[in-house]
Amino acid sequence: MVGSIKAANNHNNGYGLEEKLDELRSLLGKADGDPLRIVGVGAGAWGSVFAALLQDSYGQFREKVQIRIWRRPGRAVDRATAEHLFEVINSREDVLRRLIWRCAYLKYVEARLGDRTLFADEILKDGFCLNMIETPLCPLKVVTNLQEAVWDADIVVNGLPSTETREVFEEISQYWKERITAPIIISLAKGIEAALKPVPRIITPTQMINRATGVPMENILYLGGPNIASEIHNKEYANARICGAGKWRKPLAKFLRQPHFIVWDNSDLVTHEVMGGLKNVYAIGAGMVAALTNESATSKSVYFAHCTSEMIFITHLLAEEPEKLAGPLLADTYVTLLKGRNAWYGQMLAKGEISRDMGDSISGKGMIQGVSAVGAFYELLSQSSLSVLHPDEKKPVAPVELCPILKTLYKILIIREQPSQAILQALRDETLNDPRERIEIAQSHAFYRPSLLGQP
């Protein structure tokens, strides 16, 4: 009886998925026999998991949809990672059986022994993301030629770091010159760039894509939310928001929604995208505090109070109605401070297990986007043209002067004039204002600067 119920549920779920796929195909004008082509560009943890989610859900409908992922070729897997990967494979009977059935197991044995070099694109085909070895995915269709991957894609998922988005999409634009219709682009990137002329403003990944390719903004969306890639793949309950123009966000929200991954939609693309980058800034500091205080719950809560008050202050500079962001922003911040790669980076830096000289791309973790975001937000908020009235000194100051945590992170990470321990000194400074005061300042003054997001 239980087996019959499970079979019935599987049948119903499959029917619902095919119905959603058919609806999206119809909206895109796809004819019978012409598959919907979805391509992930970039194979970091979240980009790989996102492609795997789509493959798990819709890959069974081979005549109706084609799901692929692009990553650069030639990235070798080091010996230590190969050995760890072998352990992961042998600890999972389902994965071991799958590899044996696909005649793919032997190469992992040889790599463990040092008799063979594995490559990141090679193992991705078997379902292993180099940045998330301990979470095996489903096998993926991997393409290493960018032109082949994207030239006829209907939907492109940007899984690149924000620091690589512009360069790759400028190359992609060369392959789309003959296109008649523009593709849909869903960006997963969380990070920003700062432009200081002619006026200080933020440039987001969706804006980079728009400028690089000419694809209209109504076809470019941002997907973000409080989630950890490995946990989403393991079907932990999660929420996300897809933000952008109404033409595509509601159909895509429905298409992406799963029982364990609920996708809502929102029209405020740029603000949500910027906030996705902002929380990475403060997550690095959270990791430092956790490491330096031996995971003191009290110290971490003090840091949380100060960093969220700064984030609330910054949202009042960026958003006309920032209260609408309070829930999603704090939820995304909370999970990133708990378990994100930026928090991990802060921890390892404070423990001395990694150094700033290693750069922002860390083996096994990928790009730490919070570092560049620290520099970008500091540059923007230190501009005198954005001055606000200092509550105590009663004189105009750059907004960054009211953000001591951001200033300290800049000194630690960007100009490197202070050690990680400086983050604790910032918290212990008796001249530091009560976080409540910073929130009251933000809520009681007209700080909104629409120019920061490129608004008139």
Show which residues are catalytic. Answer: 279
Tokens of 96: 């071991």
Residue 418 CA to residue 415 CA, distance in Å, equals 8
CA dihedral 184, 188, 192, 197 (to 10 degrees): 0
Contacts of 241 (CB under 8 A, 6+ apart): 223, 224, 225, 263, 264, 265, 266, 272, 328
Distance spanning both ends of the chain, measured CA to CA: 63
Task: Give CA–CA dist 260/233, Å, rounded.
Answer: 10
C-alpha radius of gyration, the chain, whole number: 23
CB 188 within 8 A of CB 223: yes
For 210, other C-beta atoms within 10 Å of its C-beta total: 17
Which letter does DSSP use for residue 71 in this model?
-
Contacts of 136 (CB under 8 A, 6+ apart): 88, 89, 92, 95, 127, 128
